[in-house]
Amino acid sequence: MIPYVLKRLAGFVATLLAAAAVTFLLLDALPGDPARFILGINASPEAVQALRLQLGLEAPPLERFIRWIGGMLQGDFGLSYTQGAPVSALIAERLAVTFPLALAAMVISIAIGLPLGILAARRRGSLADTGLMMLAQLGVAVPNFWFGMLLVLLFSVTLRWLPPGGFVPWDENAWGAIRSLVLPSFALALPQAAILARVMRTALVDVQSADYIRTARAKGLTMGEAVWRHGVRNALLPVLTILGLQFAFLVAGTIIVENVFYLPGLGRLIFTAISERDLILVRGAIIVLVVGVTLTMLVVDLLYGLVDPRLRVRRASR
Amino acid sequence: MQFPIKTVLYAAVASLVLIGAAQAQRTDIRIGVVLEPPALDPTAGAAEAIDIVVYQNIFEGLTRVDETGAVQPGLATDWTISEDGLTYTFNLAEGVTFHDGTPFSAEDVVFTFERILADDSVNAQKALYAPIESVTAIDAATVEIVLERPSGMFLFDIGRGDAVIVSPATADTNATDPVGTGPFRFVQWNRGSRIQLARYEEYWGELPALTEASYHFIGDTAAGINALLAEEVDGFNNFASESIALFEADPRFKVLVGTTEGEIIMATNNRQPPFDDLRVRQALAHAIDRQALIDGVSNGFGVPIGSHFAPHHPYYVDLTGTYPHDLEAARALLAEAGFPDGFSTAMKLPPVNYARLGGQILASQFAEIGVTVELINVEWAQWLTDVLTNKDYDLSIVAHVEPFDIGIYADPDYYFGYDDADFQAIISELSTTTDDARRRELAVAAQTRLAEQAVNGFLYQLPQIGVWNAKVEGQWVDSPIEGVVLRDIRWVD
């Protein structure tokens, strides 16, 4: 087990370094100047030059790269060019919105998607199955931002139960923060739940005709018991893979839903930073995302072992 | 029958509560804004979004610009100007404190201007203050500013957001924690979401009616509509024109249509053939149908312009008739310039509605005279580098939002590439003239020259379309300078 963990760790560090180098190079090649962005179209070239010096943009690329990596190793992500605030604080602030949002969307999509998938698989070919799978097809097809707008129209504009958007900070009013995340997390969860339901159904349908289910039936279990105790667990493997990918997507790819609900999330932060050429902020955020996604994948890998004893045995015997 | 005493009591209490609620006028306001400022120091950044939050609210200058564009006393309560127009002596308001409690004095004024003029200054409008020779504190309540040459715009220029008075103790942190002398102090900034201000109870002048104000950043139009309809915000200072009918029809809201200092122009690279030929530029000017453009881009909101000047300004002359929409004349001019079959060109469009939509409409209008336009969408940062800095463009569409900025055409190195000795002479006299009648003549001459030379395609003035709760009053309809001034905003029944 220990060599396995070491190998994974080395891979982790190598991934990070590669990501750092690639984002640095790519963003450096991007046309545009944060100093010009800040000072606008009437500023004199001298003022722009003075600001470039002040921001440290005039140093050669290699020097800036080394300074940036060195800073991060000490936990210092630098100061945002356009906002003048520490990059780490800016990202942490946004993660306090995006992470709970992604988690809530994940929980909702599991709570809706898995039971529906199991139900559809158990009633394969029935009217319920057809109906559910049509619904799931619809759920995948409906864009989440549009679904979000419908939710706002119903629950905020008409019923006035929930705010149409915005975010109340956790330390100000935790209940308010939760209320601001309800509609966006449902908007995000819908397509994910639909995908999960479809994957779960397919996996379970495959499993139902497996030999071990027949053996379990032969031991005297009902079909329901056999599927629940042996089938679901086996069907979870592909579901776990999808969940890992979905979580990474939920953390990094929620910008459209963030826009609809004007939430101060990570997606909008990165989008604005790119358009303002606040490259130091973009780079910091990408590193944080790379860490997050790599860690998620690691967790998924470990969970495989938990779900599938064969993987544990194979690793242990190495 | 028993007398329903309980019911009556409940009703009485309930009505008392209702009356109480009706009488307690709200003193807070929540304003929706499309763009979030990157930072909050107006002396170190040009973004209009900065001024929308801080100008005249958190920070004040020696003078201030009012809703009509006129200069009013600010931290300087009055001033005298020497005969030669070079020496300005300002008397400063007394009892003024910064929001951190430190008293304001003439030394802060000296510090502010020395900071603007320093070699390492990052003030976006530094060039405006270049005529300043010296700033001296005569005593704690008097400042003398000496200019190298007279300036007709000086009192206006020191009333801009770029010249607000800052304290030496907090100048370096104003970007994230602004401290000024204004009627509102900064409370909190939840980035990506909102900025909160509260009334500064120690304010030296008349206290505003509002005690709290917050700015909510809502970039998406549909989200903005929902926020207004759900009454999560009390107004937008400038809202998307396509949704205005919805709010005009709803008695809960009022729509205020005004003007701004933003001239929307089709920027033209005057150095680049074929645009170095006056006849080509004239032909394009004849081909533009401004009203069709305004209808298509902003649902008819916006005033056509014929030169680079705001229609609400007292010196404005209507020059939209210089080259009227006339396709025959346009084709004749093109033929004369050697392009009987037209030519192909490209237009770089920044990511704003008026540019992206406007580009498509202009391209179809130019197609009628045989000019084929390739539309190239660019980001802002790319636009600033390609078009503004490297002048690598043929045509573009952009709004110039600074007040009274006709002087940019006198700089041959500016991205228009317009080098005209006659025009430069007019501007150089205008910038040193203080006599109002003469200034008007020169401003008219400058506008006329630009219109005749068809330097750029002059399209229309960017409107300000405010959507507000019908019970909110005192907000500016026009915007002669960037800002959302909270001073006079109040709730009425």
How distant is the Cα of A283 from the closest Cα of chain B, in angstroms? Answer: 17
**What's the number of domains chain A is made of?**
2
For range B416-433, the mean pLDDT: 95
Asked if residue A226 and residue A134 are part of one domain, the reply reads: yes
Q: Count CB neighbours of B87 within 10 A.
A: 15
Does A224 reside within a domain?
A: yes
Alpha-carbon distances, residue A205 vs A119, A235, B342 (angstroms): 11, 9, 66
Contact yes or no for A277 and B381 at CB 8 A: yes
Q: What is the CA radius of gyration of chain B?
A: 25
Asked if residue A126 and residue A69 are part of one domain, the reply reads: no
Contact yes or no for A167 and B190 at CB 8 A: yes
Instruction: Identify which of A42, A152, A263 has the shortest CB distance to residue B226.
Output: A152
Look up tokens 């122009």; give the residue: B265
Asked if residue A102 and residue A235 are part of one domain, the reply reads: yes
For range B92-118, the mean pLDDT: 96
Instruction: Identify which of B192, B232, B389 has the shortest CB distance to residue A94.
Output: B192
Contact yes or no for B226 and A259 at CB 8 A: no
Does A69 reside within a domain?
A: yes
Asked if residue A139 and residue A221 are part of one domain, the reply reads: yes
Does A138 reside within a domain?
A: yes
Contacting residues of A for B382, CB less than 8 Å apart: 31-32
Beta strand B132-139 with B28-33 is unpaired
Please state, for a pLDDT cut of 90, what percent of chain B lies above it: 88
Three-class secondary structure of residue B256 per DSSP: strand
Contacting residues of B for A160, CB less than 8 Å apart: 230
- The structure tokens listed for A285 are 């955020």
Asked if residue A49 and residue A177 are part of one domain, the reply reads: no
Contact yes or no for A41 and B193 at CB 8 A: no
For range B133-162, the mean pLDDT: 95
Alpha carbon A193 to its chain centroid, in Å, reads 15
Does A214 reside within a domain?
A: yes
Contact yes or no for A37 and B380 at CB 8 A: yes
Asked if residue A249 and residue A116 are part of one domain, the reply reads: yes
Residue B13 — very low, low, confident or very high, per pLDDT cuts 50/70/90? Answer: low
Q: Is it the case that residue A288 has pLDDT exceeding 70?
A: yes
- Select from A13, A43, A76 the last residue of a domain: A76
Asked if residue A189 and residue A131 are part of one domain, the reply reads: yes
Q: Is it the case that residue B178 has pLDDT exceeding 50?
A: yes
Q: Is it the case that residue A156 has pLDDT exceeding 80?
A: yes
Contacting residues of B for A53, CB less than 8 Å apart: 120
Q: Is it the case that residue B276 has pLDDT exceeding 90?
A: yes
Q: Is it the case that residue B12 has pLDDT exceeding 60?
A: no
Q: Tell me the per-residue pLDDT of B263-273, one tens digit each, with 9 for 90 and over.
A: 999 999 999 99
CATH number for the domain spanning A225: value is 1.10.3720.10
Alpha carbon A302 to its chain centroid, in Å, reads 19
- Select from A255, A273, A291 the last residue of a domain: A273
Q: What's the pLDDT at A16?
A: 85
Domains of chain B, CATH where assigned:
28-33+178-259+464-491 (3.40.190.10), 59-173 (3.90.76.10), 262-462 (3.10.105.10)
Q: Is the peptide bond before A3 cis (omega within 30 degrees of 0)?
A: no
Q: Is it the case that residue A94 has pLDDT exceeding 50?
A: yes
How distant is the Cα of B401 from the closest Cα of chain A, in angstroms? Answer: 10
Nearest CA in chain A to B127: A44
Does A134 reside within a domain?
A: yes
Asked if residue A168 and residue A69 are part of one domain, the reply reads: no
Does A205 reside within a domain?
A: yes
Q: Is it the case that residue B46 has pLDDT exceeding 90?
A: no
Asked if residue A144 and residue A91 are part of one domain, the reply reads: yes
How distant is the Cα of B275 from the closest Cα of chain A, in angstroms? Answer: 22
Of B146, B174, B165, B209, nearest to B74 by C-alpha is B165
Q: Yes or no: say if A139 and A191 are a contact pair by the CB < 8 Å rule.
A: yes
Asked if residue A71 and residue A49 are part of one domain, the reply reads: yes
- Give dist(CA B40, CA B173) in Å, integer: 9
Does A59 reside within a domain?
A: yes
* B2-6, B156-160, B231-235, B349-353: least confidently modelled range: B2-6
Structural domain boundaries, residue A209:
87-273
Q: What's the pLDDT at B334?
A: 96
Q: What's the pLDDT at B117?
A: 95
Q: Tell me the per-residue pLDDT of A22-34, one tens digit each, with 9 for 90 and over.
A: 988 988 888 888 9
Q: Tell me the per-residue pLDDT of B294-349, one tens digit each, with 9 for 90 and over.
A: 999 999 999 999 999 999 999 999 999 999 999 999 999 999 999 999 999 999 99
A272/B contact by beta carbon, under 8 A = yes
Average pLDDT, chain A: 86
Asked if residue A67 and residue A142 are part of one domain, the reply reads: no
For range A91-105, the mean pLDDT: 91
For range A199-207, the mean pLDDT: 88
Q: What's the pLDDT at B1?
A: 44
Task: Output the pTM of the full model.
Answer: 0.87
Average pLDDT, chain B: 93
- Select from A233, A252, A273 the last residue of a domain: A273
Residue B394 — very low, low, confident or very high, per pLDDT cuts 50/70/90? Answer: very high
Q: Is it the case that residue B5 has pLDDT exceeding 90?
A: no
Does A16 reside within a domain?
A: no
Contact yes or no for B191 and A264 at CB 8 A: yes
**Paired strand residues for B72:** B64
Residue B411 — very low, low, confident or very high, per pLDDT cuts 50/70/90? Answer: very high
Asked if residue A196 and residue A58 are part of one domain, the reply reads: no
Q: What is Dmax (Cα atoms) for chain B?
A: 102
Residue A314 — very low, low, confident or very high, per pLDDT cuts 50/70/90? Answer: low
How distant is the Cα of B143 from the closest Cα of chain A, in angstroms? Answer: 26
Between A105 and A226, residue with greater pLDDT: A105
